[in-house]
Amino acid sequence: MLKPLLIFSALLLCASCGSSSPAIDDPRAQDDTKKEEVQDNREILREYNQESLELITGLMEQAALDYYDTGSYQYPIRPGLDTWALLSTKGMVYVSSVPEDILPLLDQQALLQLAADHPMFANILAYDEFSGFLSAFKRYCNALAYLLEESDAESFLLEQYLTSPIDGNESDHIKKILLGALLSEQASLTNHVDNRDFVQSLYEKFSYQLNLLTLDEFIYYQPSLNVSLALAIPVLKNGGYLPTKFKDGTTAPFNELLLSDEQLELLQREDGSFHRVDIDAFIIDLLQTYLENW
């Protein structure tokens, strides 16, 4: 296979070619819709150093060359490496982008794997709001953005969710978080709430995740639970197991959890408090009942 002309050096080492640099977001920007362009390629470093810039350039060039030799693209700079510590926030996003000339050559599985392996996944997952995480990751991960542009992306994501293992390694758990988060969007989930295979898979994954609550080493348990809850709420509303309207008669948002007075009374502890683990267990029980009565 012919190797394309590598242009990382020209883009990174020329301080005056900011117009050729990709747009990059600041993960903590107040306006999540605003994109900042790297005006000076030295901005990718915390402190500018020509030797460090050349080192980063070389690693990015080698990653592209390795792809054309092996057919697999690997992010060249990751958290834990000394070179990662040299990068500014903009630089982290910059080096975590797959080269634009390689993206069209990747199949859907490879694009999904690159999304799961994205070096900034843990940073982005730190967003307080679930919706904030999802919208941010779509912007920061160009492999995921490219995948979502494909016409059959939704059917691919559903198939991957249904066939993903209940357990698995860290990469498998990250994939399930991504798949569930993407499927939880209203435009997608409305197509699947009547799919028994989907509800069965959701029930099994949600139950397994809640059982991992006692494992301190499972760092992704809370995001996993958040995703499963976001999927379960519309499913149970559709099945008639959760209220869909506020007491004033207005319809609640698609994935907002509403509970009847009877359900609230059941979940309230003696001290008057409500605990998330009780809510998750209750939702799982409702999913089980829904499946039994399907």
75, HSE (Cβ side, Cα atoms, 13 Å) = 26
What are the structural domain ranges in the chain? 1-145, 151-294
70 SS3 class = helix
pLDDT (0 to 100) of residue 6: 33
Quick check: 51 and 63 in contact, CB under 8 A?
Answer: no
pLDDT (0 to 100) of residue 210: 87
The tokens for 140 are 């920061």
Low-confidence ranges of the chain (pLDDT < 70): 1-41, 126-131, 213-220
Bridge partner residues of 36 (DSSP): 24
